[in-house]
Amino acid sequence: MTDRPAAIITGASRGIGRAIAISLGAGGWDVVVNYRSDEASAKGTQRQIEDLGGACRIFRADISVAGDRRRLVDFAKDSFARCDMLVNNAGVAPTNRADLLEATEESFDRVMGINLKGPYFLTQLVANWMIEQVKTACDRKFRIVNIGSISGYTSSPGRGEYCVSKAAMTMMTRLYADRLAEFGIGVFEIRPGIIETDMTAAVKEKYDKLIADGLTPIKRWGRGEDVAQATLAIAEGRLDFSTGQIIDVDGGFHLRRL
């Protein structure tokens, strides 16, 4: 085991997860990058971290599958023998946007499996491992970050299952924050707004216009790096007297305005 802290980041082959992995890698962390299928992109994340002098291992696992979650944690144990931070970032939008009155149960199960059940039970596995580590290394700090969304409180009837999955993630954050506080494990939700990634590429023009028309007080798209900076602040212990906290990284989208 090294002296460097280690993190597991789900869905870190691209987008927000990749930005988080790179900023932790550059900040002296050993990183396990999880991805579902895009190995070439995951290797790209790994290369960028190694170019910055960091250590990175990549692991393919579908976060909605119990066996894959166990294998991911075993891989992290074999790789770095420690886990100081888990970032539950992997998430998907519905494959097809469908109106609430027509959307299918199949899409609901898929989105909930990846966005909620996966992180919920991965957190259970990693939290138990962290608790074991707390017993032998009481000078170390442990943290869990869940990547939620403004969709957790903003109605989009064209992707209800996504909104429900992110709303539930807020309660998941509260539950684990409450349960894990006695072990000194902090749990946070970072709530991104409209972030420029592959996930939002299909609606780029729509949001370009909305942002230009004043949808957000800060008139620009968010970037993966914006979310990574907030994650790094938690990783570096700047919020250690907080837990269960929601951190909005959304250009002020959450403000009510008149």
The residue ranges that bind ligand NAD (CB under 6 A) are 10-17, 34-36, 38, 62-64, 89-92, 114, 147, 149, 192, 194-195, 197-200
Cβ 140 to ligand NAD shortest distance, Å: 27
Cβ 236 to ligand NAD shortest distance, Å: 21
CB nearer to ligand NAD: give 20 or 133.
20
CB nearer to ligand NAD: give 15 or 27.
15
Q: Is 120 assigned a catalytic role? A: no
Cβ 14 to ligand NAD shortest distance, Å: 5
CB nearer to ligand NAD: give 147 or 180.
147
Cα 217 to Cα 46, 186, 241, 252, 257, distances in angstroms: 35, 30, 29, 6, 9
Residues 6+ apart with CB under 8 A from 175: none
CB nearer to ligand NAD: give 60 or 141.
60
Cβ 199 to ligand NAD shortest distance, Å: 3
The encoded tokens of residue 106 equal 């199949």
C-alpha span between 187 and 69 (Å, rounded): 19
Judging by DSSP bridges, how do beta strands 142-147 and 85-88 pair with one another? parallel
DSSP state of 182: G
Q: Given the residues 35, 120, 162, 176, select the one marked as catalytic.
A: 162
C-alpha span between 230 and 19 (Å, rounded): 11
Looking at the DSSP assignment, which residues form a beta bridge with residue 246? 189
Q: Which residues are catalytic?
A: 162
